[in-house]
Structure 1
Amino acid sequence: MDWFATGDYTLAREILQRGIAAIFLIAFVSAHNQFPALLGDTGLLPVRRFTAVVPFRRAPSLFHWRYSDRMLRALTWAGSTLAATVVLGLAQLGPAWLPMLVFLLLFAGYLSIVNVGQTFYSFGWESLLVEAGFIVAFLGSNAVATPLPVLLFLRWLVFRLEFGAGLIKLRGGREWRDLTALFYHHETQPMPNPVSWFVHHLPRWFHRGEVLANHAVQLGLPLLLFAPQPVASIAAGLIVLSQLWLVVTGNFAWLNWITIVLAFAAVDDASFRWLGGLILPGLRAAPPGGSTVPGEQPLWFVVVVLAVVVLLLVLSYWPARNLFRRRQLMNASFNPFHLVNAYGAFGTVTKERFEVIVEGGASADPQDATAWRAYEFRGKPGDPARLPGQFAPYHLRLDWLMWFLALGSRDTAWFEAFLARLLQADPATLRLLAHDPFAGQPPRFVRARVFRYRFSTPAERRAEQVWWVRTEVGTLVPPVTLPPE
């Protein structure tokens, strides 16, 4: 059975299972905290309206049967608990079917959330988590050796993720081809973090080097994931390092962290021992403790794994074809179960940053300029004096959609509902924000203005103590109020 199972990837399996489970844990906690306000019974885009017009076959979800906020919270608690059992290594102590069952339940539970999440769950890393959760379900437990076909398919997932993103950039904006993309990206990315200001002000030759390194990693290394060892491990290690740089310089929810976890599918135990030997020389000669020696695998396990891999290979036709299409799709699913998707991000980089600032007015006269106060969001820029925060791998969904809104997104139904909730001082909506200037009381009016933002220069930072400099460019929504009852 050496062709099917191996004892050389024991640590990789531990990282894959525990890492994906940890991201599921974060995703379910995020849903518990945000889903009811965004999509619940009184949310901005209620699930019940969605399921009334979209059939189950197009968006399979438990919530087609019934939705309530209580049911949603029960699902998130159950998902968090199941994910925690894998993070702690408990599920892996049982028979091979136990982690399989746990991950399939996580997959089904989170798929139920994603498929009714509408624009708030339309991000590529949602499909990525669903797909990864399904695949790692078939890695087995400590009772069996690690199945090689599953590891190879996980490498194919990383290949699609990285190579697809690289092709999107080459086919996208000219800034990726003339190496100027990162002159702007650190400033205009959806949600800068505390390091972004400092990296933005590094020399331009450094930013050109960033783009070159990005092209090398995304277009050159993915193929090497299928090379013999230690080449595959080296390629995976370089991908991990590139993702860690993205972690340090931005807030991209769990996209970078899940890519890091998945890359370990190409790292064998010998590479871990070599790395351990560099850190602690005494570990270099240590035996591969805990490795499972390939032997007789349960027949049912072999049959199930091979059947699943064949299914995934068949489903791979559509994303593989997409890689070679002139009009390559970015972050696309080809089936309602979000299995074997197309990935990619930032085919073009915006060169100017616009922000929508939402304000409430306390005066009966909307022309009274002194009565307007701004609502502050948790992650998106607002107050120029506030240092951008670090939130990833947690996903601030409302803040991300505010970025798309400022870019001119035509999907504004949620924003209109958001303004109405502010006028009602809806507690659930206000909890999504960092600061309510009216302390829970409803304003008389709300409005939305658009500003051009740029990072302050070092001189401006020293003189004015601001991280951003902004200039008003227009009004998105003039003062509005609730109609009289």
Structure 2
Amino acid sequence: MEWFTAPEYWMGRLVFQRGLAAVYLVAFLTAALQFRPLIGERGLTPAPRFLGRTTWRQAPTLFRLRFSDRLFAACAWTGCAVSAALLAGAADLVPLWASMLLWLLPWILYLSVVNIGQTWYAFGWESLLLETGFLAVLLGNDEVGPPVVVLFLLRWLLFRLEFGAGLIKMRGDECWRRLTCLYHHHETQPMPGPLSRLFHLLPRPVHRVEAAANHVTQLAVPFLLFTPQPVASWAAAVMVVTQLWLIVSGNFAWLNWLTVVIALPVIAWPWGAAPRRDPGAPLWYEITVLAVAAGLLWLSRKPARNLLSRGQAMNRSFDPLHLVNTYGAFGSVTRVRHEVVVEGTGDERPRQDSDWRAYEFRGKPGDVRRGPRQFAPYHLRLDWLMWFLALSPVPARWFTALVEKLLEGDRDTLRLLRHSPFPPETPPRWIRARLFRYRFATRAERRAEGAYWVREYVRDFLPPTRLS
């Protein structure tokens, strides 16, 4: 069928596949380096316990056959190896059927990880990677032109991603309608980046322009994705520029990078103006792609209804395979930044004037003289959960488990931190947690005190605690 493929988009497919492979590589590397203290056999929320209270239908994963830390590590590092091979172009060096299997392998492995990841993997970019990765299985390799229906599904995904995020803002916090949310967002976002303070200190009229531009990009531009070229290309380019703006202003794991990747095959690349010869797709491939695409469009009815619903949910999966999902972020913006500061002491009895020493996290604000760092697209899972913890009135269960690990001097847990004031051999006797209000230092305060942050004590979050 001549209409089945669009060979003029071969360059768009090429950059999309390479970009997706790079994101997969980062995701598997994040899993390999952090899983043991988080969801390992002795982790804060052990995967074996989760598997014991859920079913195949609720959370399909290869680890239902067997789970061990060694097996998980093998899965994660295998994912890294396959992703690196895909990044190097291995899928174009094998037959079409083998290429599809090669793209299917990281999807199965990462689905198995996400479905036992619990609260550590409860973010929209996990489902986004799985939905995008499944579409990549159908996209083919150099043997065939990119299937038109898969290119459409990628645009449909990008539309839901952007339009859903725009709607959740307009339906959520009134500051988005008043164009004032960015007065606060750069300072109170989960993990600021090295330029976030400069963004926060921009004049307020600039923040209003930022908010207005966000609404245009997310509520109007997505409809242009389905128009003829070159309009669709310009719409995708606007989205790419917006995502790059977000990348330099904060740390949102691979969310923004993956959004850029999804937008790339929409663009009519100048190098693709003269399409490669399309030998035609095999019948089995056409039947497979059309059948699966029809199934995905049928599953899309739930996310589509969610977009039109007044009770719009964000970052929700409608099936355990994460094939078609709904997305959105920052439907509400916090006005004040709170941080939980964890401290320990070796004193026999804890007193207010004891020698309390603070644990420092890699990305979460702590030491007021240490400026934010750039970590994205790498994802610091513990640091992100610490931001949500500060919004909670009481400690979460995983946090009490973290305190226990620190009191034990657990080496794997300490590796998640930037600095521990106590070596593993001599852990503290007591640990406490206090809640502080943080704000970016003004230019004058930065010059006078050399600090990036200014903080003030709010209340005790966890009283002095020791191992029983």
TM over 0.5: yes
Task: Report the counterpart of residue 282 of structure 1 in structure 2.
Answer: none
Deviation at 1:93, TM superposition (A): 2.1
Task: Report the counterpart of residue 65 of structure 2 in structure 1.
Answer: 65
8 Å Cα contact 1:93/1:143 also seen in 2: no
8 Å Cα contact 1:355/1:450 also seen in 2: yes
Give the distance between the partners of 1:84 and 1:404, measured in 2 at CA: 33
Deviation at 1:411, TM superposition (A): 7.3
Task: Report the counterpart of residue 211 of structure 1 in structure 2.
Answer: 211
SS at match of 1:437: coil
SS at match of 2:221: helix
Deviation at 1:436, TM superposition (A): 0.6
For 1:298, which of 282, 307, 323 is the aligned residue? 282
8 Å Cα contact 2:145/2:280 also seen in 1: no
Give the distance between the partners of 1:265 and 1:316, measured in 2 at CA: 21
Task: Report the counterpart of residue 353 of structure 2 in structure 1.
Answer: 369
8 Å Cα contact 2:2/2:280 also seen in 1: no
Deviation at 1:292, TM superposition (A): 2.7
8 Å Cα contact 1:183/1:200 also seen in 2: yes
Answering whether residue 449 of structure 2 is matched by residue 454 of structure 1, we say: no
8 Å Cα contact 1:144/1:292 also seen in 2: no
Give the distance between the partners of 1:459 and 1:409, measured in 2 at CA: 34
Give the distance between the partners of 2:284 and 2:276, measured in 1 at CA: 19
- Residue ranges of structure 1 left out of the alignment (5+ in a row): 274-286
SS at match of 1:146: coil
Answering whether residue 110 of structure 2 is matched by residue 125 of structure 1, we say: no
Give the distance between the partners of 1:411 and 1:145, measured in 2 at CA: 53
For 1:430, which of 406, 411, 414 is the aligned residue? 414
CA 1:450–1:47: 2 relative to 1, 3 Å: same
Give the distance between the partners of 2:348 and 2:319, measured in 1 at CA: 52
Alignment of 1:317-332 (within 5 A): 317-332=301-316
Q: State the aligned residue count.
A: 467
* Alignment RMSD: 1.1
Deviation at 1:264, TM superposition (A): 1.2
Alignment of 1:36-435 (within 5 A): 36-270=36-270, 288=274, 291-367=275-351, 369-408=353-392, 412-435=396-419
Task: Report the counterpart of residue 10 of structure 2 in structure 1.
Answer: 10
Q: Can you list the C-alpha shifts for 1:173-224, whole angstroms capped at 9, x where unaligned?
A: 0100000000000000000010001111010000000000000000011111
8 Å Cα contact 1:173/1:349 also seen in 2: yes
Give the distance between the partners of 1:478 and 1:387, measured in 2 at CA: 28
8 Å Cα contact 1:180/1:207 also seen in 2: yes
Give the distance between the partners of 1:369 and 1:160, measured in 2 at CA: 54
8 Å Cα contact 1:104/1:137 also seen in 2: yes
Deviation at 1:321, TM superposition (A): 0.3
SS at match of 1:225: helix
Give the distance between the partners of 1:464 and 1:220, measured in 2 at CA: 45
TM-score using structure 1 length: 0.95
8 Å Cα contact 2:395/2:462 also seen in 1: no
SS at match of 2:341: strand
Deviation at 1:409, TM superposition (A): 6.8
TM-score using structure 2 length: 0.98
Give the distance between the partners of 1:220 and 1:307, measured in 2 at CA: 31
Give the distance between the partners of 2:92 and 2:22, measured in 1 at CA: 14
Task: Report the counterpart of residue 278 of structure 1 in structure 2.
Answer: none
CA 1:472–1:88: 2 relative to 1, 3 Å: same
Give the distance between the partners of 2:178 and 2:41, measured in 1 at CA: 49
8 Å Cα contact 2:196/2:250 also seen in 1: yes
Q: Which consecutive aligned stretches of 4+ in structure 1 deviate over 2 angstroms post-superposition?
A: 291-296
Give the distance between the partners of 1:260 and 1:15, measured in 2 at CA: 11
Q: Which amino acid aligns with 2:144?
A: V
Deviation at 1:98, TM superposition (A): 2.3
SS at match of 1:346: coil
Give the distance between the partners of 2:159 and 2:71, measured in 1 at CA: 37
Give the distance between the partners of 2:65 and 2:456, measured in 1 at CA: 49
8 Å Cα contact 1:86/1:99 also seen in 2: no
SS at match of 1:439: coil
Task: Report the counterpart of residue 443 of structure 1 in structure 2.
Answer: 428
Answering whether residue 454 of structure 2 is matched by residue 472 of structure 1, we say: no
Q: Can you list the C-alpha shifts for 1:393-424, whole angstroms capped at 9, x where unaligned?
A: 00000000000000117671110100000000
Q: Which amino acid aligns with 1:385?
A: R
8 Å Cα contact 2:395/2:461 also seen in 1: no
CA 1:145–1:380: 2 relative to 1, 3 Å: same
Q: Which amino acid aligns with 2:220?
A: G
Deviation at 1:153, TM superposition (A): 0.1
- Residue ranges of structure 2 left out of the alignment (5+ in a row): none
Q: Which amino acid aligns with 1:303?
A: I
Q: Which amino acid aligns with 1:298?
A: P
Q: Which amino acid aligns with 2:11?
A: L
CA 1:140–1:411: 2 relative to 1, 3 Å: farther
Percent identity at matched positions?
Answer: 55
SS at match of 1:240: helix
Give the distance between the partners of 2:266 and 2:73, measured in 1 at CA: 36
Deviation at 1:369, TM superposition (A): 2.3
Deviation at 1:368, TM superposition (A): 5.2
